[in-house]
């Protein structure tokens, strides 16, 4: 039974949000995510490979095209699209947990959701968010580049006081935007894979989980950011493992957060 065929007529009941998540839940979700990756590595390596290839292409185009100033914000904003890339991983974990048959058609078909375009609508939001971040980052760069007195895409700018301040301001603005986006997607996308609900309902549930479990979900956000950052250092290659493990783990955290 495909993701589209599950419960086509009846919407899922209103999500019941847990308000007692602990560090034990995070460790359990990571352990379950690692178990999923080891059990069905082909799906994780496939989606991780797409992510790595896209990162390498963006980095190459930024350097060869002379857009050095966009390389840092593009790398920093790249994790924004990770939740959407992980939709197939959520479906793989869901099927493994439920004991349902696994196949490429089922996993790749997860992007269609339940035939109501709710996941694709979230994909549009993901794209808009990433584009907005790039516009903001470019505006910050332009402001501080003018103050530095250096023209073009000079690497030397990052060694000036203005360049350092640009990194500080850009990091602060990026962190706020990233957490807002994380709050919106961390539960909503797994929920859209799991249930026939509208994307506004899923987004509201995601914010509700963050509000009810702020400390634990903040730690989970830091874990994701740290692992993705470390994984991107060796030419994005670490993402072949980090992305699928975090994707599977996010599914299991969702299962703990929403009854």
**Span 64-98, pLDDT tens digits:** 766 666 666 766 666 677 777 889 999 999 999 99
Instruction: Taking residues 174-193, report their average pLDDT.
Output: 90
Considering only residues 77 and 205, tell me which one the structure prediction assigns the higher pLDDT.
205
Going by C-beta distance under 8 Å and a sequence separation of 6 or more, which residues neighbour residue 232?
A: 55, 75, 78, 238, 239
Burial class (CB in 10 A: 0-12, 13-18, 19+), 209: buried
Q: Which residues of 39-50 are buried (b: 16+ CB within 10 A; e: fewer)?
A: ebeebbbbbbee
Helix, strand or coil, per DSSP, at residue 100? coil
Q: What is the pLDDT of residue 72?
A: 67
- The answer to whether 113 touches 119, Cβ cutoff 8 Å, is yes
Q: Which helix (H) or strand (E) holds 162?
A: helix 161-185
pLDDT bin (cut points 50, 70, 90) of residue 109 is confident
pLDDT bin (cut points 50, 70, 90) of residue 150 is low
223 is written with which tokens? 């874990």
For residue 100, pLDDT beyond 90: yes
- The answer to whether 98 touches 255, Cβ cutoff 8 Å, is no
For residue 231, pLDDT beyond 60: yes
Instruction: Taking residues 220-232, report their average pLDDT.
Output: 88
pLDDT bin (cut points 50, 70, 90) of residue 133 is confident
- The answer to whether 178 touches 229, Cβ cutoff 8 Å, is no
The answer to which of 33-42, 53-62, 192-201 has the lowest mean pLDDT is 53-62
The answer to which of 51-60, 140-149, 196-205 has the lowest mean pLDDT is 140-149
Mean pLDDT computed over every residue of the chain: 83
Q: Which of 17-21, 96-100, 172-176, 229-233 has the highest mean pLDDT?
A: 96-100
How many C-beta atoms surround the C-beta of residue 246 within 10 A? 28
**Distance between CA 114 and CA 111 in Å, rounded?**
9
For residue 216, pLDDT beyond 80: yes
Instruction: Taking residues 116-126, report their average pLDDT.
Output: 84
Q: What is the pLDDT of residue 235?
A: 75
Q: Which residues pair with 122 in a beta bridge?
A: none
Q: How much of the chain, in percent, has pLDDT values that exceed 70?
A: 82
pLDDT bin (cut points 50, 70, 90) of residue 9 is very low
**Distance between CA 119 and CA 196 in Å, rounded?**
10
For residue 154, pLDDT beyond 70: no
Q: What is the CA radius of gyration of the chain?
A: 19
Domain boundaries, the chain: 23-257
């Amino acid at each position: 039974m495909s993701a589209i065929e599950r419960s086509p007529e009846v919407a899922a009941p209103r999500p019941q949000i847990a308000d007692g998540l602990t560090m034990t839940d995070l460790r359990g979700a990571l352990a379950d995510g690692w178990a999923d990756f080891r059990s069905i590595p082909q799906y994780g390596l496939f989606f991780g490979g797409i992510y790595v290839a896209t990162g390498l292409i963006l980095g190459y185009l930024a350097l060869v095209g002379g857009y050095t100033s966009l390389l840092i914000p593009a790398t920093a904003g790249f994790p924004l699209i990770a939740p959407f890339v992980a939709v197939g991983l959520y479906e793989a974990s869901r099927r493994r947990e439920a004991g349902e048959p696994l196949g490429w058609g089922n996993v790749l078909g997860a992007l269609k959701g339940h035939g109501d375009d709710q996941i694709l609508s979230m994909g549009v939001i993901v794209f808009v968010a990433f584009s907005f971040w790039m516009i903001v980052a470019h505006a910050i760069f332009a402001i501080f580049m003018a103050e530095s007195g250096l023209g073009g895409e000079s690497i030397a700018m990052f060694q000036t006081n203005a360049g350092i301040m640009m990194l500080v301001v850009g990091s602060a603005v990026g962190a706020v935007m990233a957490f807002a986006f994380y709050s919106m997607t961390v539960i909503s996308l797994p929920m859209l894979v799991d249930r026939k609900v509208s994307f506004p309902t899923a987004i509201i549930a995601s914010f509700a989980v963050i509000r009810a479990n702020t400390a634990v979900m903040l730690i989970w956000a830091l874990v994701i950011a740290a692992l993705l950052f470390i994984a991107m250092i060796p030419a994005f290659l670490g993402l072949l493992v980090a992305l699928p493990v975090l994707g599977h783990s996010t599914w299991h955290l969702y299962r703990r957060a929403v009854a």
